Amino acid sequence: MRFVVIILVLLASLKVWTQDRMYRSVVGQALVDAYRERAIEVCRKQTAKTVPVASAQTVSELWSAASAAEVTLGDSDVNVAIWDTQNPLWQQRFRNPHLVLTGTGESNAHCAYDLHAGVATLSP
């Protein structure tokens, strides 16, 4: 009887895990499709502000539709401790969803677009 119960628990756990993975995959792809163009536009503007010598051609090549994109929860580049809940940046670090674009070509630059606030942060 224990064996049957253990098998049922394992099957139930597998079902919950599979549903969670499928949900996260579908929602992540929907967010990427919905916000990719806006994120590219904001990342280009932010790059042009921070790197004034960059040419328009370089900026448009760095952030394009060919850039790899993924949705993450929080921005790991923001330096806030998890227990510091009174910090005004805590939401940005641990709660807000971000669309992270990876630069095309030889560049390893990342641009994290905050879907909630509508701002982008660049990291080399």
Helix (H) or strand (E) holding 100: strand 97-102
Q: How far are the Cα atoms of 39, 103, 105 from residue 119, in angstroms, in the given order?
A: 9, 17, 24
Q: Is 115 helix (H, G, I), strand (E, B) or coil?
A: coil
pLDDT score of 62: 76
Residues 23, 112: Cα–Cα separation, whole Å: 22
| pLDDT by residue, tens only, the chain of 124 residues | 999 999 999 999 999 999 999 999 999 999 999 999 999 888 888 887 776 665 655 666 777 777 788 888 887 778 889 898 898 888 888 888 989 888 776 667 888 898 888 888 887 6
- How far apart CA 114 and CA 71 sit, in angstroms, is 10
